[in-house]
A = this chain, B = another copy of it.
Amino acid sequence: MKRNSRLSSTLHILVHMAEKPEQALTSEQLATFIHTNPVVVRRTIGGLRDAGIVTSSRGHGGGWLLGRAPENISLAEISVALGETLLPFSTEPESPGCLVEQAVIAVLDDFRVAAEKLLAEKLSRITLADLTADFRRRYALIGVSSHAV
């Protein structure tokens, strides 16, 4: 798992889970999808459990399942559950009392608040079901092409 790919890796995992809705997938299985290690998977998607996006069960036959229908899981929720920040820049004060810094931070924070709202809205309109639909379309195309001629 590469750096900064937590969102895409998680989506990858979730699409696989959505494609096997009746079967609990183990951390081990999920890890192989994204070429990493079961512990990294547990750590990464552990937060999704608290958000109800997935459920996990221990013991023999245990593993991970979606917590609800893919139509009701938005990328906005996933992103929040992963603890991802949508915008990368920091606006922490470093020179308390400096009016120049205060002006910079004020303007930047205004922008950030507005931008995060916009991005969250856009992400809330994309659901896991959209991803599975896209996957199935691609899968069907491959199927067709391999039967063609």
Contact = CB atoms under 8 A, between A and B. Distances in A.
Interface in A101-116: 101-108, 111, 114-115
A72 B146 CA distance: 56
Contact of A5 (B94, B106, B122): B94
Contact of A131 (B8, B103, B132): B103
Interface residues of A, number: 57
A125 B91 CA distance: 19
A123 B46 CA distance: 35
Contact of A91 (B8, B107, B114, B135): B8
A71 interface: no
Interface string A8-20: 1101100110010
A95 interface: yes
A12 B122 contact: no
Nearest to A3: B90
Given A92-B2, A100-B33, A115-B119, A126 B107 contact: yes
A16 B100 CA distance: 7
Contact of A108 (B8, B85, B103): B8
Which of A6, A12, A33 has the largest number of chain B CB atoms within 10 A?
A12
A87 to B, nearest CB: 7
